[in-house]
Structure 1
């Protein structure tokens, strides 16, 4: 192997990480929007009126023809776009991920979107709008509103929810709504292909609508059926009834369980 090619090969395999980091002063209920074509996004809530964003690119440069970052702030609105280079030559013996790490005020409104990557949110209490084209979405210990959409990936979350809308084209859905959750607007959960598990507080008052095209429905909470059971669909009432909770799986089973 010629020396020049060997040196290039070694450089590609043993490259170093490049990092970009910036903080933004913002109110406790400010807005953060992040959009990227190909990166993992992890957000952790903290008790500061400040957003800290850290982008780490493995074996890639940030800027100067590498990973591009454009950030803008207008008042309490922060907008960040992270793009990959148009020509990205590498030897396919290892992956070269780009990771976006975010620390944001606990009650901030978050709008996070990645074309190819995972999204994780921990401890947030503001409105969450999450979208992954090809990757999993996970939320832990959140409160308030969750809208999560995945084209091809699983969605898993736990928290105290008021508004809940979850949809994936191909993947599992597993949501645990803890005590204190309320149905301020209809909850909608859907997967095109995968098991759907929804855990609800045993004392939650709700109308429930369940439907699967190719699977079974498993109920571990007492549900008073309010109409005829039609094929693989059930409509019923949990406790005194109330806001609507609908769950649908195209090719997978539906499990309704207690979150205590």
Structure 2
């Protein structure tokens, strides 16, 4: 049953991708066009821009969230005052719907009185006249910042739980051998949580690759194509233009790209692992 639920939409999209089918013209596929939809998608400038933006967001977002999350997890391990409250509050950003986060940051980025814009101006940092979200040079970075704010706690909590599972006996033995904190981290802690780290990085990469909600609320893919993502392009072609044939081809291109990237990542990440 589960296999059927997964396979049917993919097979339906695969079949539809070989037809000219636009719901604004008619409810049924009109003409078999072979790979024309795929060629049209790959040759479209906005699709290539969406792919580039999606890769930038996915790679940078995942990497930075992992680094910041690991740093926070290491801080949480320390017996500092108020840590129990910090741990409880840390998960809150991930419980908020991305579309709500998008509306929140749209007001924070507002050039007419948004808190983040005001802070940047107070620090004598340049803020574009058209606003942070209105400038092609800053809009994508603004979306990346929103994603990092919301999902770094996810990495922090998971990595913190994994670090808690590292046996104290191993850590004590390393300290008796006068190993530095850096050596303990790089030679003991990280290798022991490697599998967990690999899996959450993979899952988060796939999640960011499908980014849509935040882009829709903050920029609608603009200015121009500077923040257009594959998820937003699929929404636009499928639910705005109703071009079922083209959006099906774009869906399969996206599926293939994600699967190739994830397969290569898993191969290189686990090639020296023993199970």
TM-score interval for Structure 1 and Structure 2 normalised by the shorter chain = under 0.3
Structure with larger Rg: 2
Give the TM-score, by structure 1 length.
0.22
Q: Considering Cα pairs closer than 8 Å and 6+ residues apart, tell me whether 1 or 2 has the greater RCO.
A: 2
Of Structure 1 and Structure 2, the greater strand share is in 1
